[in-house]
Amino acid sequence: MARAQFDRNEVIDRSIKLFWERGFSASSMQQVVKTTGLKPGSIYLAFGNKEGLFREALEAYAEKSRALMRDIIETAPSIGEGICALLERFVEDATRSDYCSCFLVKTQLELAAEGGELHALASSKLAEVETMLRGYLEQEYDPELSRRRAASLMLHIFGLRVYGYHQGGAERMREGLREGLPWLPWEKSASN
């Protein structure tokens, strides 16, 4: 019996879109089948079940997000300016009419009450982002200050991702970031 051939990455990318928009619980197996174009048996064979596909989608999203963040930070003139550029990117994302928050943040919020492996996975991926930011900050600050500032950044990022464009627009979000993160070089990053 021949196995069905499909592009695994394409299936995962399609699944990211579905799960990101609807969440894990609200995405039915019928919607997964329709979104991926695979038959249920192929999904079970390739991913184990809907949870397995969701896990791979979350992993792929997290890796793409970290790669984007690394690119933004590492192409800036300084770490601080890179972080400012990253936060500006999040503000711009949040003001789009089709804004859908952050898949990791949404998953963490959706599954918080029940906990479990998927909630733990989303939480661990967010912790990896914090660790990455801390590593960048340690290039300019001592480890303890970097730890505190990375935690502060995560709180602001989480807030941006949840707050969204409905609460007063981009300028209000920028004002909140500048007020809450005065140690960042906002003036330098605005002039570039």
CATH of the domain at 79: 1.10.357
pLDDT of residue 170: 87
Per-residue pLDDT band for 187 (boundaries 50, 70, 90) equals confident
In which residue are the tokens 């990791």 written?
104
Radius of gyration (C-alpha) of the chain in whole angstroms? 19
More confident residue, 191 or 46: 46
Evaluate if residue 79 carries a pLDDT over 50: yes
Q: With respect to residue 47, please indicate whether it lies within any of the assigned structural domains.
A: no
Per-residue pLDDT averaged across 3-29, rounded? 90
pLDDT of residue 100: 80
Q: With respect to residue 53, please indicate whether it lies within any of the assigned structural domains.
A: no
Q: Which of 28, 22, 23 is nearest to 119 (CA)?
A: 23
Evaluate if residue 189 carries a pLDDT over 70: no
Evaluate if residue 130 carries a pLDDT over 80: yes
Q: With respect to residue 166, please indicate whether it lies within any of the assigned structural domains.
A: yes
Evaluate if residue 167 carries a pLDDT over 60: no
Alpha-carbon distance of 25 to 177, in angstroms, equals 33
Alpha-carbon distance of 64 to 103, in angstroms, equals 12
Residues 55, 121 contacting (CB under 8 angstroms): yes
Evaluate if residue 75 carries a pLDDT over 90: yes
Provide the domain limits for residue 113. 58-187
Q: With respect to residue 103, please indicate whether it lies within any of the assigned structural domains.
A: yes
Q: With respect to residue 24, please indicate whether it lies within any of the assigned structural domains.
A: no
Q: With respect to residue 18, please indicate whether it lies within any of the assigned structural domains.
A: no
Instruction: Encode pLDDT of 28-67 as tens digits.
Output: 999 999 999 999 999 999 999 999 999 999 999 999 999 9
Q: Is the pTM of this model over 0.95?
A: no
Instruction: Encode pLDDT of 81-128 as tens digits.
Output: 999 999 999 999 888 877 888 899 999 999 998 889 999 999 999 999
Q: With respect to residue 45, please indicate whether it lies within any of the assigned structural domains.
A: no
Alpha-carbon distance of 153 to 58, in angstroms, equals 22
Evaluate if residue 2 carries a pLDDT over 50: no
What separation in angstroms does the CA of 145 have from each of 74, 87, 128, 179, 183? Answer: 20, 19, 18, 18, 11
Q: What is the identity of the amino acid at 67?
A: A
Evaluate if residue 164 carries a pLDDT over 70: no
**Mean pLDDT across the chain:** 91
Counting the structural domains of the chain, the total is 1
Q: What percent of the chain has pLDDT over 70?
A: 93
More confident residue, 5 or 152: 152
Q: With respect to residue 182, please indicate whether it lies within any of the assigned structural domains.
A: yes
Angle between helices 8-22 and 50-74 (to 10 degrees): 90
Q: How far is the first Cα of the chain from the last one, in angstroms, to the nearest whole number?
A: 59
Q: Using CB atoms within 10 Å of the CB of residue 139, give its burial: 0 to 12 exposed, 13 to 18 middle, 19+ buried.
A: exposed
* H or E segment and range at residue 76: none
Evaluate if residue 192 carries a pLDDT over 70: no
